[in-house]
Chain A
Amino acid sequence: MRASMSRVLVAAVTFLTAGIPAAAEDASPYRTFDQLATSLRAAAGAGGAARVSVMGKSSEGLDVLLVTIGTGKDVDRRPAVLVIAGVEGDGVAGSEIAARLVEELAKAGDERTAKLLAERTIFVIPRLNPDGIERYFGAGKRQDAGTARKWDEDRDGAEDEDGPDDLDGDGVILMMRVEDPAGEWVADEKDAGFMRKADLVRGEHGAWKVMTEGKDDDGDGALNEDGPGGVDLNSNFTWNYRFHGPRTGPYQVSEPESRAVMDFVAAHPNIEAAFTFSSNDNCVRQVAPAPPPNPLPDPGSPVMALDAGDALWFAKSAETYRGKFGRDRIDPAPFREGGLAECLYFHWGILSLSSPGWSVPWKAGDANGLANEDGPSREARWAHRWMRENRASEWVEWHAVTHPDFPGKKVEVGGWKPFSSILPQASSLDSLATKHADFVREMLEAFPRVAVKGLAAKKLDAALWEITATVTNDGAWPTALRQGERTRRARAVRIDVVPAVGEVVAGERTTLVPVLAPGGVRELKWVVKAAEGTEVEVKAETDRAGAATAKMTLK
């Protein structure tokens, strides 16, 4: 599986990094949990359209907050978009963008937003993993995707007993390289400080072992194999879950945070679309639709690739998203095993988009300049160069340390400081929030929308009437994605004809229409036995496309 840009950078250059970022600004643009909770409650209390509630607790007992934005009736049950941030423990930027997005939308100041919020709802989970994100604010900041739950990563019966160590005492966990002919890595000749795998085909031999800064704390012969920080929530969901992985948890949805969001989704069949701030990206990078299966799978077998019919709506949304941020990358994004965004699509049939909110900018054209360089290291090298040009102060040169586990060997510490490659400039946060808020508005405007039209009655006899009506979808998306229909999570459009008195003598009183395409029309006909002057109502409703009614008096 290929990792996103920032992940590659972290993996190839810094692995797990920790410590205080050098780019410490006078006032952090990011909010601690207490600051987040206080500020969101203040925003909700300012008379806008938002209300804040608690949907669960983290493993350390912090609240998982939910902000519900909407005005009018049945806010909780109307077609809704779900925005989730701070899924990963280093998702500081996404959580901040989501908080600012709440503050902007909750004001409902403009007519466009006010109109949307009167009919549709925005649910925001601004920080699903509050324990993990709290680490950013702790002494010795540590960049790690996990929660705070203790976890035995190496299955030796002890939890968190051998994490990274700050060997050079600079308050930061960086990378470490050990000169060793058994290592697979070489120091690159073109880009100073860059480490890459030796190219055996070109006759190179490895010269270094590369690992996270640290030592063998528990004397088991392995370094940094079980550090603090537990389960990566973004690997703990139900679709394509990886059992017995090092950080995937004991089983799917095992964590209080993942359960909170799953229970919420199960209780809200009205969630039509979702946007998740996470390192996995299907907006800037598009997800490839499934090739036609050959041979055809059993009807009951699990769906493992984006349905070709649904891919249209994903592609359209991703295009809209890319247009706002000027980022572009057309190589297909991978699905994440056990990922949250993946679970929402594959198991709940929700139009589920995901992006980190910001990443080291990458343009398709930039990659071409590196096309002939070092294959697998290509992306890491590109990111290294971008960082050197734009964030040079975040680089720590390789420098020698003495190491208890490698007596007599040359050991050096260096690399990019934690968080340096995954946080945007503080000054860009407001604009990022505004653009994401606008993206949410555009999603709401595309929502499917059922309507009842042309209700009419033809008199067949003194008290016998033929009633006709059409039910339409006036939105830009179908009333159910194919995966929503397949999973039965996107409920059929239910159409009822209800005469105030009398009875339906022909035709079905209740009709279930599995899906209406955008612009789709369903014609209906009934014969009703009722006296002249009786009121007849036709109702159409489904969780994700709203409800509509039409009434008439028989005459």
Chain B
Amino acid sequence: MLKRLIMLALLAATAGAQDLGARGAPANAKVEIRWDRFYDNKELGELMEKLAAAFPGLTKLHAVGVSVGGRAIRAIEVTNFAKGDAARKAGFYIDGNIHGNEVQGAEVALYTAWYLLENYGKVAMVTELMDTRVFYIVPTINPDGRDSFLHDPNDAHSLRGGVMPWDEDGDGRFDEDGNDDLDGDGNITQMRRRNPHGRWKTDPKEPRLLVPCEADEEGEFDRLGEEGLDNDGDGEVNEDGPGGYDPNRNWPTDWQPPYVQGGAHDYPFSLPETRAVGKFFMDRPNIAGAQSYHNNGGMILRPPGQQNAVVQGGDVGVYDTLGRKGEQMLPGYRYMILWKDLYTVWGGEVDWLYFGRGVITFTNELWTEANMFRTAVAGPWADTRADRARFDRLLLLKDAFVDWKAFKHPTYGDVEIGGFKKNFGRTPPSFLLEEECHRNMAFTLFHADQMPKLSLDAPDVKSLGDGLFKVRVTARNARIIPSRTGQDVVAKISRPDELTIDGVTALSAGIVRDRDFNRVDFQPGKPSRIRIEAVPGMGEATVEWIVKGHGDFRVTLDSVKGGVVEVTGKVP
């Protein structure tokens, strides 16, 4: 302990001497990474490799799976491997970018890995988190969609899904008529056509935008939708583009087929990406907290995704505590219930992680337009185009908008093409991206810190005469999240927590319901092992044995999600 203190003091001293950084991100990082830009899947992989090379005792890289398009889905595991068995520490899972166009989730996730690694041994709370917890970070679980968004012509909303062909228009042909980048600028923007009978006119305040005419007013334009052609000659434009399903509707809990839930695909985990991530998650039963990063709207979403599902009572309290803390840490973000405050989602990831795996999980919708002028936004569906145009004009010097220009369209004739660029509107501008990374990471680390932290009090040994003793042990949880959530207990997802006694012979065993009045639930079966439902959040659980024997004994608490702790005692 003393040695560690000296080491920490030395580290602090040396760091202090050279510390030219602002507080927050580490100065003099071992791995320099710019957090004002996006990285494609290959670059993300290279950054993970750099981190792994720079911090060998604190990292492991995992191949989670391979996407439809053949891209690697990779995870970085972050913990102090020298301290404890990593697989038995409470685990925290983070992923991002399940929707390909919602790119910044990957940067937030990777920032978290970088921050933890660079600050190990420097920031005491980080050191403790990495000594006692393990983080599984998967920056992007949709690399095909990500790379398509970053490299191919798209708008801010594509490519949401993946690249497996799907027949959206039911004509028996697959992906035969998607958008077309007619002006070749790498963005899919809008098409409009001058028409005195059109019902749209130039916005007098933001002349690059169109607004609807008054009822008694002559118009200027028709809006013709997104840039594109009738590629298959069926009389429709852009009706069946690449993919056409939604990976975040492909998870088992409350999965419903596409006629109920658009984008659900064929059955839960029918997509290789979701299946690989599901397996990665199930292979790590120690995961006790999770976070998924989407965009956008500034939301901290919790399950359920549909109104008939019920979050267990005790778990609602945990969610509320964490969610309200998140609202403080993420100004402009609101803590919301998915189906009630946003929309119904059948078969969403966050629902499976909670209902299917019993893990308290949030989905954060990153980036809020409240950040543009630090003013409130009127709900998830507010029309903010004028604010965006003003922000673009004043702060991005009109760099986020492709100005209208003429184009000869084979079907529509003389049209104009223009509109917001794909990387504006749902993703922050460069100078706010780092803020988004840090604030969301801080919220997630607060959540991770609230995973169960178990200990055992020293055993209370009482003689009953005739060489018999009663041994009572109390297990404690110093954090908000119980060792098994209410959902885990109700659905029997993980096995019960087990308390075992070694070194003496147990003759009878029970769970103490009331210490003062000796109320005990007898444990069926062999008495050396007691199974309890959970150690509650910020709470305790007491068990007792009647034993025979003398000398040292050991009591072990083994919790799948809360880890293993031991205490020793002595029978006189």
Listed in ascending order, the chain A residues whose CB lies under 8 Å from chain B are: 152, 155-157, 216, 218-222, 238, 241, 243-244, 250-254, 262-263, 266, 300-302, 347, 486-488, 491-492, 494, 508-510, 512, 541, 543
List 7 interface pairs A-B (beta carbons < 8 Å), by A numbering. Answer: A156-B496, A219-B525, A243-B252, A250-B282, A251-B252, A253-B268, A487-B257
Judge if B410 is at the interface, Cβ distance under 8 Å: no
The distance from the CB of A543 to the nearest CB of chain B, in whole angstroms, is 7
Do B493 and A244 touch (CB < 8 A)? yes
| Cβ contact of B491, chosen from A220, A244, A253, A510, cutoff 8 A | A244
| B21 CB-CB contact with A under 8 Å | no
A510 with B492: CB separation less than 8 A: no
Contact between B234 and A155, CB atoms less than 8 A apart: no
Q: What separation, in Å, do the CA atoms of A250 and B170 have in the docked complex?
A: 32
Report A-chain residues with C-beta under 8 Å of the C-beta of B235: 508-510
Q: Among B268, B496, B526, which residue has its beta carbon within 8 angstroms of that of A251?
A: B268
| Nearest CB on B from A296, distance (A) | 15
**CB within 8 Å for A243 and B525 given contacts A238-B257, A251-B252, A262-B267:** no
Task: List 4 extra interface pairs beyond A156-B531, A241-B252, A510-B234, CB under 8 A.
Answer: A216-B525, A244-B492, A253-B269, A487-B259
Say whether B439 faces chain A, with CB atoms less than 8 Å apart: no
- Asked if B252 contacts A252 (CB within 8 A), the reply is yes
Q: Given A251-B252, A251-B356, A252-B268, do A243 and B259 touch, yes or no (CB 8 Å)?
A: no
Instruction: Name A491's contact: one of B170, B234, B282, B352 (CB within 8 Å).
Output: B170
Option from A157, A488, A512, A541 in Cβ contact (under 8 Å) with B258: A488
Q: What is the interface size of chain B, counting residues whose CB is below 8 A from a CB of the partner?
A: 38
Q: Can you list the 6 inter-chain pairs with the closest CB atoms, starting with the nearest? A: A221-B524, A251-B252, A157-B495, A221-B525, A219-B526, A155-B492
Question: How far, in whole Å, are A347 and B494 apart by their CA atoms in the complex?
Answer: 30
The answer for the CA separation of A152 and B278 in the assembled complex, in Å, is: 19
Q: Which residue on chain B has the smallest CB distance to residue A486?
A: B259
Chain B residues within an 8 Å CB radius of A263: 266, 270
> Of all chain B residues, which has the CB nearest A514?
B170
Residues of B within 8 A of A222 (CB): 524-525
Please indicate the chain B residues that have their CB under 8 angstroms from the CB of A508 in the complex.
Answer: 235
Chain B residues whose C-beta falls within 8 Å of the C-beta of A543 in the assembled complex: 172
Closest to B492 in A: A155
Q: Which residues of A contact B171 (CB under 8 A)?
A: 492, 494, 510, 512
CB pair A252–B267 under 8 Å, yes or no, is yes
Within the assembled complex, what's the spacing in Å between the Cα atoms of A243 and B268? Answer: 13
Q: Which residues of B in the span 233-277 have a Cβ within 8 Å of any Cβ on A? A: 233-235, 252-253, 255-261, 266-270
A151 to chain B minimum Cβ distance, whole angstroms, is 13
Contact residues in B for A301 (Cβ distance below 8 Å): 260
Quick check: A488 and B356 within 8 Å, CB to CB?
no
Q: Which residue from chain A places its CB closest to the CB of B261 in the assembled complex?
A: A300
Cβ of B353 within 8 Å of any chain A Cβ, yes or no, is no
Chain A residues, Cβ within 8 Å of B496:
156
Task: Please give, as numbers and ranges, the residues of chain B lying within 8 Å of A244 by CB-CB distance.
Answer: 491-493
Q: Contact between B269 and A156 (Cβ–Cβ < 8 Å)? A: no
A508 and B171 alpha carbons, distance in the complex (Å): 14
Q: Is B355 located at the chain interface by the 8 A CB criterion?
A: yes
Contacts of A156 in B (CB 8 A): 495-496, 531
Cα separation A132 to B260 with both chains bound (whole Å): 34
Q: With an 8 A cutoff between CB atoms, is B560 at the interface?
A: yes
Q: Mark B485-526, 1 if CB is under 8 A from A, else 0.
A: 000000111111010000000000000000000000001111
- Determine if A251 and B269 form an interchain contact, defined as CB atoms under 8 angstroms apart: yes
Q: Is A302 touching B525 in the complex (CB atoms < 8 A)? A: no
Shortest beta-carbon distance, B253 to chain A, in Å?
7
Please, how many angstroms separate the alpha-carbon atoms of A220 and B252 in the complex? 31
Provide the bound-state CA to CA distance between A302 and B256, in Å: 7
User: Complex: how many Å from CA A508 to CA B496?
Assistant: 64
Bound-complex Cα distance A492 to B167 (A): 12
In Å, the complex CA distance between A76 and B356 comes to: 37
* Cβ contact within 8 Å between A487 and B258: yes
| Bound-complex Cα distance A157 to B260 (A) | 36
Given contacts A221-B525, A251-B268, A253-B267, contact A491 B356 (CB under 8 A): no
- What residues of A have a CB within 8 angstroms of the CB of B525 in the complex? 216, 218-222
Take A238-B267, A253-B268 as given contacts and tell me if A155 and B170 are in contact as well, using a CB distance cutoff of 8 Å.
no
Residue of A nearest to B356 (CB): A251
CB-based contact B260/A302 at 8 Å: yes
Give the CA-CA distance A486 to B266 in the complex, in Å.
Answer: 15
| Contact (Cβ within 8 A) A155 B233 | no
Cβ–Cβ contact A512 & B256, under 8 A: no
Docked CA distance A216–B524 (Å): 11
Q: A156-B496, A543-B172 are in contact. Are A243 and B255 (CB under 8 A)?
A: no
A238 touches B255 (CB 8 A): yes
Interface mask (B154-183 → A, CB under 8 Å = 1, otherwise 0): 000000000000000011100000000000
Interface residues of B in 412-441 (CB under 8 A from A): none
Give every chain A residue within 8 A of B278 (Cβ-Cβ): 251
Could you tell me which residues of chain B, from 501 to 559, have a CB within 8 Å of some CB in chain A?
523-526, 531
Residue numbers in A under 8 Å from B260 (CB-CB): 300-302
Bound-state CA distance A253–B278 (Å) is 13
Enumerate chain B residues within 8 angstroms of A152, measured Cβ to Cβ. Answer: 495
Separation of A543 and B173 alpha carbons in the complex (Å): 12
> Which of B253, B257, B270, B495 has a CB less than 8 Å from the CB of A243?
B253
Q: In the complex, are the beta carbons of A243 and B356 less than 8 A apart?
A: yes
A155 pairs with B252, CB closer than 8 A: no
Q: Are B268 and A238 in contact (CB under 8 A)?
A: yes
Interchain CA distance A492-B526 in the complex, whole Å? 63
Q: Report Cα–Cα, A543/B493, bound state, in Å.
A: 42
Question: Of residues A220, A238, A241, A301, which shows the largest number of chain B Cβ atoms within 10 Å of its Cβ?
Answer: A238
Q: Nearest Cβ distance between residue A480 and chain B, in whole angstroms?
A: 11
Contacts of B252 in A (CB 8 A): 241, 243, 251-252
User: Please, how many angstroms separate the alpha-carbon atoms of A153 and B186 in the complex?
Assistant: 54
Q: How far is the CB of B251 from chain A (nearest CB, A)?
A: 8
The distance in angstroms between the C-alpha atoms of A503 and B94, with both chains bound, is 56
Residues of A within 8 A of B256 (CB): 302
Residues of A within 8 A of B266 (CB): 262-263, 266
Complex interface: chain B residues within 8 A of A262 (CB): 266-267, 270
Query: How close is B172's CB to chain A, nearest CB, in angstroms?
Result: 6
Do residues B172 and A491 form an inter-chain contact, with CB atoms below 8 A?
yes
Mark interface residues in B266-307 (1 if CB within 8 Å of A CB, else 0).
111110000000100010000000000000000000000000
